[in-house]
Amino acid sequence: MTISIDGTDIGQAIEIAGIVGSIVALIVAGFIIYLMVRPPRRSRKRRAERDEEALATEEMLRLMDRMEQRLAILERAVDGEANARHYLEREREQQLLDAGDEDPQARRTK
């Protein structure tokens, strides 16, 4: 078995090797640039911790707002109940006071 290689085959092999080499070089250059641009690990960890703290703080504030809303509703309900009780007590007192206003003859029965 014989292999025959002429000048065009060698030119095509060089061209393919050049294309593959340029793609690999582009990927390596992109990776190096990425490593140079990204922030250091310590600052990334600090930022992640700050973000977690910010989220926890935001969640706590939302929870407090919701609790304040519920407390306001509860206060209105309790206040309404107290007003109703007070009104009923006044009605009873008024009825007792009004019972004495009647004519003594009207209260007596034989």
Residue 109 DSSP code? -
pLDDT digits (tens, 9 = 90+) for 21-61: 999 999 999 999 999 998 888 888 888 888 888 888 899 99
pTM of the model: 0.40
**Which residues, other chains included, contact 44 with Cβ-Cβ below 8 Å and sequence gap of 6+?**
38
Mean residue pLDDT of the chain comes to 84
Q: How far is CA 42 from CA 46, 49, 50, 56, 70, in A?
A: 6, 11, 12, 21, 42
Q: What is the pLDDT of residue 47?
A: 83
Report the C-alpha gap between 54 and 21 in whole angstroms: 47
54 vs 15: CA distance, rounded Å: 55
pLDDT top residue among 54 and 86: 54
Spell out the domain ranges in the chain.
54-100
